[in-house]
Structure 1
Amino acid sequence: MTDELVNMTSQEVKRYLDENSVDQYNLVDVRQGWEYEEYHLPGAALIPLPELADRLNEIRSDRPTIVYCAAGGRSAAAANLLKGQGFTDVYNMLGGIKSWKNEYAIGPQSLGMIYFSGNETALEILYLAYGMEISIASFYTKTASSVTPELAETFKSLARFEEGHKAKIFGAARQLDPSLKTREAMEVKAAAGKVLEGGITLEEFLERTRNYLDFPNGALEAAMIFEAQALDLYMRCSKKAANSSSAEILRWLAQEEKGHLKILGSMLERKAANP
């Protein structure tokens, strides 16, 4: 990413809101509707994370934007997505609304994307995308064994989709580099993509957030963070890809990840309706 994620504590957000009029900033809640109805910050606009990419026109890009969720993970992904789409003054509220209510929040504050500098070639972008798909598929496969049967089936299905994405990316990479003969060779090229920004591997992330994943909605929220980061990467990279075929594939991948986010969002809604 070209810009580092900027965080604000809940106390800093409170102070900022107190010192500025409501027409000077955007305050965006990226949780689900039922979460918003339970409690939300005054004046916050509800744009659930699965809908964010399709509703960017509802957010004034000429104003500072503060995003928040329950614990800070989904909003960090949302902030990165906004920055990737040209929003320059974006802040993630650390700890989410739980910290605002002075409750102790457990969960990933910000899960780094695969590193994207903005200077990659079309082939390097495909390597990054392949690495992202490896991480997402691995997350679903590893997590499926520790969640409810219904969620496990969804995660397994999503993991199969990600495997299909890898095949499509590999095909596009071979068009740009005919010497790339096997999927194994592609995985070697994409090996750096297995490490999240800041040098955190998928395994380290799962270890650090093991307790969080035990929470009723923890695994779903973590999955939404991953999918939002993939969407962010593909939306950014599709604008940069010089090769029209690569750009088309990246746009297709972005649409796929949008669909996955909506599936996960619907599951959160169902869990709320049938706790």
Structure 2
Amino acid sequence: MLWKQFFTPVKSYSVKEAAEFLTGKNPSDVTVLDVRQPGEYRQGHLPGARLVPMGELSDRLDELERDGPTLVYCAIGGRSRVAAQMLAGKGFKHVINMAGGFKDWESMQQGSGWTSTGDYTQGLELFPDDIDVRRALEVAWGMEAALEEFYRDMAARAREAGKETTAAMYDRLARFEVGHKAKIENRYAALAGSDAELEKKAAQVVEGGMTTEEYMQRSGIDPADPAHIAGFAMMMEAQAMDLYARAARSAADAGTAAFLEDMVQEEKSHMQQVGRLLDSLLEDQNHG
């Protein structure tokens, strides 16, 4: 299964540009938002950064200033780009993603020369708020299929490394995606009269996209780093959640809107579970 990204672009700064932007500003002038997990935050963060993990963001928007500038960052820039898009879609006026994330920031501070490889706009496709619901379901089915394939691949890798507990978590997440695909198939059949063409349509939507390995490489993900993999999974769950939320706003009937809103809540739950997995992985690393 191939990947594509479906977000309206948001402004991104390099870490150097972000540092220049923050110079001379008081904490009340700008919200510096860290959307990583608590374990990542404890290992280091930008001065004055506010921690709101990605899986909690949609429930904690009222804690954040909507009218002033918000600089969002994560580990390497993938989760924060998704978070920035979500904030912009919720009416936040001036949202900036820090490309390269804390890893680039730390490298700049230490002068180590590390730079991220992620090109977060390549392959980007504009996805309007008034998306047709049938097309949204086709995209969603393709995304769920890609997530299932990704989780099964990660489970196999974890087992090869003797990490059965981690493998079991990935297996569980893969089963969730199977359930999501079945729900989408049922809703699609109700709208289109049949789900016979759904898989074919979904494949057409992501035609020209990237394989999982290519997407991970493009996003600067180290496939040998479990924490990177978990962060990547959270980014993709967030992308699915944003898709469902946009489609719900344009659904023509209450039943479809309610179905899509339920899917938003399920994706949020998945993000939180992957977040807990990431915290567990970081704790294991600290005690390893």
Q: Summarize the Cα distance change of 1:208–1:29 in structure 2 as closer, same or farther, 3 Å threshold.
A: closer
- What aligned pairs does 1:119-268 form with structure 2 within 5 A after superposition? 119-147=130-158, 148-178=163-193, 180-182=194-196, 185-194=197-206, 199-202=209-212, 204-206=214-216, 208=218, 212-268=222-278
Q: Which runs of 4 or more aligned residues in structure 1 lie more than 4 Å from their structure 2 counterparts after TM superposition? A: 105-109, 111-115, 206-211
Q: Summarize the Cα distance change of 1:47–1:190 in structure 2 as closer, same or farther, 3 Å threshold.
A: same
Q: Unaligned 5+ residue runs, structure 2?
A: 1-5
3-state secondary structure, aligned to 2:33: strand
Distance 2:72 2:216 in 1: 24
Identical aligned residues as a percent: 37
Query: What displacement does 1:221 show?
Result: 1.1
3-state secondary structure, aligned to 2:23: helix
3-state secondary structure, aligned to 1:262: helix
The residue number in structure 1 matching 2:52 is 47
TM-score, scaled relative to structure 2: 0.84
Deviation track 1:30-57 (CA, whole Å, cap 9, x = no partner) reads: 1111222222212211101111111111
The residue number in structure 2 matching 1:20 is 25
Deviation track 1:9-43 (CA, whole Å, cap 9, x = no partner) reads: 11111111114333232210111112222222122
Is 1:194–1:201's contact at 8 Å kept on the other side of the alignment? no
Q: Summarize the Cα distance change of 1:181–1:91 in structure 2 as closer, same or farther, 3 Å threshold.
A: closer
Distance 1:131 1:181 in 2: 13
3-state secondary structure, aligned to 1:274: helix
The size of the alignment, in residue pairs, is: 270
Q: Unaligned 5+ residue runs, structure 1?
A: none
Q: Summarize the Cα distance change of 1:105–1:70 in structure 2 as closer, same or farther, 3 Å threshold.
A: farther
Query: What displacement does 1:6 show?
Result: 2.0
TM-score, scaled relative to structure 1: 0.88
Using CA pairs below 8 Å that are at least 6 residues apart, which structure has the higher relative contact order? 2
Deviation track 1:180-202 (CA, whole Å, cap 9, x = no partner) reads: 253xx211122234358xx4344
The residue number in structure 2 matching 1:273 is 283
The residue number in structure 1 matching 2:3 is none
Is 1:77–1:110's contact at 8 Å kept on the other side of the alignment? no
